[in-house]
Amino acid sequence: MRRFVIAGNWKMNKVLAQANALAQDVSAGVTALGEIDIVVCPPFVALAAVQAVLADSAVALGAQNMHWEAEGAYTGEVSPQMLRQLCSHVIIGHSERRGHFGETDEAVNRKVIAAIAHGLTPIVCVGETDAENRAGKTRDVIDRQTARALAGLPPQQAAAVILAYEPVWAIGTGRSAAPAQANATIGAVRDVIRRECGGATATATRILYGGSINPSVWPETIAQSEVDGGLVGGASLVAADFVALAEQTQEAATADSGDSAQVAG
C-alpha cells in the first residue's frame, strides 16, 4: 500500500519567528500520527531555523523550488546540493512557478532529475488552468506535464517522485475539485506513469491532490481510491487546520490498510 503524504506549502508567507512557531505547533500536534508522511515547506530563508525546530520531530522539511545545477553563476538561485543539507523534499513545477516565472516542462524535468540525483524527494505539480479545463484539455495538459516531468528517469527513480495534481483554478480560490473529479484525473496521471514508466512504478507512485483543501472537504477527497495525500497551501498556514488535515489523512490511511483495492507499493 502506498504511504499517504500530507504536505504544507507555506509559499511566500511567515517571517522567521512566525515560521519557527508554526513548525513548533505542527510538530507538537502530530506526534501521534506515525502512519503517514508529514512535510512542511517554508520559504528558503526559514529552512535552517525550521530544520532546528524539527530536529526531533517526525515532520519532514521541504523547499518550494530549486535550480538544477549543483553550483555556479546563477544569481538568486538555490541548488539541490545546498538543499540536501537542510531538507528532504522539494516542490517542483508549482503552477505559480510555471505561471508567474515562466518555468517550462523542460526546466521542471531538469529539476526533477537533479533532485533525485542529490537524494531529494521531488513533489512535482501538474494541473490545468481554468481556460484549459473549460476547453476540455485537462487530460492533454496533465499527460504532457507528467510525461515531460518524468522523461529520462529510470522507472525505479521515477517511483521515488511524488506527483501532485493541482488544478490551477482550484488553488487559493476556495473551489476545491469535486472528490470524484480529483480521483478520475489522478487516475489519469497514474495511467501516464504506467505508459511512460511501467506498471510497477505506476502502482508505487504517490499522487496527491492540491487546491483549496481544508478540513471540511478533505475527508471525502482523501477517501478516494487514487488519492494518496494532499498538498496544502492556505490551510497549512494555520497549525490547527494543518494538524486536522494530517489527522484526517492518517484516519484514511488506517481505514485503507484493510482495503484490498489498495495495492502493494
Interface pick for ligand PGA out of 20, 146, 212, 248 (rule CB under 6 A)? 212
Q: Which residues are catalytic?
A: 94, 166
Decide if residue 234 touches ligand PGA (CB under 6 A).
yes
Give the span between the Cα atoms of 137 and 151, in whole angstroms: 21
By CB under 6 A, name the one of 2, 4, 6, 9 that touches ligand PGA: 9
Verify binding: residue 213, ligand PGA, rule CB under 6 A: yes
Out of 50, 116, 177, 232, point to the residue binding ligand PGA (CB under 6 A): 232
Nearest CA to 203 out of 154, 262, 126, 123 is that of 262
Alpha carbons 90 and 39: distance in angstroms, whole number = 10
Cell 538568486 found at: 76
Question: CA 142 to CA 128: how far, in whole Å?
Answer: 7
Cβ 19 vs Cβ 51: under 8 Å: no
SS3 64: coil
211 binds ligand PGA (CB under 6 A): yes
Instruction: Find where cell 538561485 sits.
Output: 77
Site size with ligand PGA, rule: CB under 6 A: 13
Residue 93 near ligand PGA by CB under 6 A: no
Cβ-based nearer residue to ligand PGA, 152 or 172: 172
Q: 56 is written with which cell numbers?
A: 526531533
**Residue choice 119, 154, 172, 199 for contact with ligand PGA (CB under 6 A):** 172
Q: Would you tell me which residues interact with ligand PGA (CB under 6 A)?
A: 9, 166, 171-172, 210-213, 231-235
